[in-house]
A and B are shown apart, each in its own frame.
Chain A
Amino acid sequence: MEEANGRNSCQLSEQQETPSEEVATVSIPPIMRIPREVRGIIFNRLPQNEIIKLRYVCRDWKSEVDDFCEFSVILDERQPYLERISQLRIKKCRVFHFMDPLPINNHNAIENDEEIVNNMPNFLKCPSLLRSLKIQTDKISPTNFHILIKDTCQNLREFCAVLPLHILTYNLYPSELYLRFDNLTKLRISVSTMPNEPVMGPPRFQDQLFYKILEFPMKKLKMLAVEIRCLGFQQVSKFSSLILSFIAAQHQTIEHIDFDMIQGHGMPLNEIRPLYDSDLKKIDFKSLKKVCKLESIRVVNSTAIGIDIWSEILAQQKALRFMETDILPAPNALYKQIILNNQDTLVHIDIGDLTIDVDGEDEDMKHFDVSVFQNCVHLRKLTLDRNCLRRRPPGQAQSAELINLHSLPEYIEELAINYFLVLSDELLILFSQAGQNLKSLTLTQCGDSGEFGVDGTVLEKIISLRDISFIEISPLNFSLPEERVKLNAILTTFGYNQDHSYFQLSKVSHNFQISFDDFLP
């Protein structure tokens, strides 16, 4: 019994142990003694250029590569390989150009839109294998867009898509089509409703592809990145409500959010407005409150619409590593609370204040105490920005002053301060203490007269920092005669004219910019 069972593998080993040269040459080579599926597994672990080479080895290997190996491809119909690509087993696909119509399966059947759906040609040989689909172009026809996603969405792990107007408003089959992305972990969409040419009225919102994609919760979604370019308050409100509802539905899994909203024209910049009531009603605030396990969040929302809701999401977090926002007025209480809540984990902080005025009333708003960052022991990058001053007519804007700069945590590598007044003496202390590990420093509009900003003594200190490889200072402070002499000495050393108002130094090795993507798994 045991003998019989063992026969197969014993036989193999006898063959291989045979010492005779003659027999060895006619015996099966060891690599061919394992099932072709197992060879397929081994082959599929190799990088693509190595796999493709194996097709030249022999007929068996060629067919095994074709049957078991999966590829990453670029889809570009301007290249002559489209047909070959459609025959491959594809796990990752990036689309560059895909406009030409594919042959439809059954011409006679096409009578209405539903028939078109039913007779859509298949493009991919094995749509269920596709894990990552990136459509990073508007050079794709709506039909081809649907052909790509209709059979693949269920198994996709990663989906990136640009949705320009012609794709967004494509409404081939309104209610019959369901797109379910049950296995998706990363979703990145970029939407633009800004037409190149004027269009006849806006599309019905609920029929838009964007809505279709977000219609069902995605059970495994960890990362959501949306970039919205739209026109008018109504659209901003609708899109915001849609995204917030979607985030609420993902509260159990979502860890990374990137929300980037820009409105096309003329919206007041210093006025916070809520969403429309009808849009507010659609948001499940109870679930939204449960979104509290974010690792990174980027909220750039220049429209100032619905930013109170986003602030609340920020305020719920306790373990943020990455935070970039322009919706929080820098020196206010909520902002400080968010930093304190996450001080054990934060690595990257970038805040640009969107709107709120510091004119007059509140004395606190004129000073921003940097010591709030003191206990952020992991902090590597800090950007403090007061965008609002740029957006306002001169005279109306008042700069706030940064204080206690020396209390920054000492491992900061990148520091950027824009539109805050900074005392020269504080800068000197900073560069002698905490700032010694700086690799990158940007100071924009931090004062150019009196006791503020970068004078000769300060610049001298900056360029002698051990690890510094990127410096950008604008403007410099020439107001004291002896400081001016020092500044001009440095400027001429680096090839600038005398009294040049800004200083920039960039070493070749400058390659340490941290971004949202660095925090993704």
Chain B
Amino acid sequence: MALVRVISSDGAAFLVSQRLAKRSGKLKTEIETFRKSSDNSEAQPEIRIVTIRAEILRLVLQWLQQHQNDPVLPANQNEQDGRGDAEMGQSQWDRDFLAPMDLGIVMELILAANHLEVKGLLDITCKLVESKITGRTVDEIRTAFKLKSDFKGNEEEQTRLENRWCVEN
């Protein structure tokens, strides 16, 4: 089985099958680039991901492993109607996978999924963030994300006026 070494920002190396790695758009491109530039077709590719640390990279690979037989979703979802297709694929396994994570880890995972082009993982992690917004009041959202209003003077009132086009339509 052809393997690839994926190395995290903090130097941890993960040995994974190329078949699995290629389910990430980014790794797929990297492996192919390596192929073209290497004289030895048997050589094992080594890919450094300088923006993702070991803990997060492990989670991504774990997710890929679990979903290795899913159909690969097209990356440029915005071209069609982006919303709605995230509905599919949220399995019990995914829910258990995400459940113990705090928001910080989720954010790192979003970045990693975005960087490595793993659409399915990006979908479920974004969905988790969305669920903290949908149907909540502005105050509830601020609490959920530990944010504070920094509007000054009549800025908030101004925003309200600007939003009228949508609210009243």
A and B: bona fide binding partners: yes
**Taking beta carbons and an 8 Å cutoff, which residues of A are in contact with B?**
2-3, 5-6, 8-10, 12-13, 16, 29-35, 38, 41-42, 44-50, 52-59, 61-62, 71, 73-74, 79-81, 84-85
> How far apart sit A46 and B52, CA to CA, in the bound complex (Å)?
27
Number of A-B contacts (CB under 8 A): 135
The reply to whether A84 and B165 contact each other, CB–CB distance below 8 Å, is yes
Question: How distant is the Cα of A45 from the Cα of B123 in the complex, in angstroms?
Answer: 10
Beta-carbon contact of B146 and A81 below 8 Å: no
Name the one of B11, B78, B141 contacting A57, with C-beta atoms under 8 angstroms.
Answer: B141
- Name the one of A10, A33, A61, A80 contacting B53, with C-beta atoms under 8 angstroms: A10
CB-CB under 8 A for A30 and B103, given A6-B8, A56-B159: yes
B164: shortest Cβ distance to chain A, in Å? Answer: 6
Residues of B within 8 A of A80 (CB): 164
List of B residues within 8 angstroms of A8 by Cβ: 9, 51
Within 8 A of A (CB), among B142-169: 142, 145-151, 155-156, 159-160, 162-169
Counting CB contacts under 8 A, is B41 at the interface? no
Given A2-B7, A2-B48, 12 additional A-B pairs, CB 8 A: A9-B52, A33-B104, A38-B114, A44-B78, A45-B82, A52-B166, A53-B141, A56-B160, A58-B142, A58-B147, A62-B159, A81-B165
Complex alpha-carbon distance, A428 and B114, angstroms? 63
Smallest Cβ distance from A42 to chain B, in angstroms?
Answer: 5
Please, how many angstroms separate the alpha-carbon atoms of A134 and B31 in the complex?
45
Task: Determine the chain A residues whose CB is within 8 A of the CB of B133 once the complex forms.
Answer: 46, 50, 53-54
What chain A residues lie within 8 Å of B107 (beta carbons)? 30-31, 33-34
- Tell me if A46 and B130 are in contact (CB < 8 A): yes
Query: A44 vs B167: C-alpha distance in the bound complex, in angstroms?
Result: 17
A6 to B162, Cβ gap below 8 A? no
Tell me how far the C-beta of B41 lies from the nearest C-beta in chain A, rounded to whole angstroms: 28
Whether A71 lies near B111 (C-beta < 8 A) is no
Give complex CA distance A6, B51 in Å: 6
B138 proximal to A (CB < 8 A): yes
Whether, in the assembled complex, B56 has its beta carbon less than 8 Å from a beta carbon of chain A, the answer is yes
A10-B9, A53-B138 given as contacts; is B53 within 8 A of A58 (CB)?
Answer: no
Q: A9-B53, A44-B82 are in contact. Are A2 and B145 (CB under 8 A)?
A: no
A84 to B138, CA, bound (A): 22
| Contacting pair B10 A2 (CB below 8 A) | yes
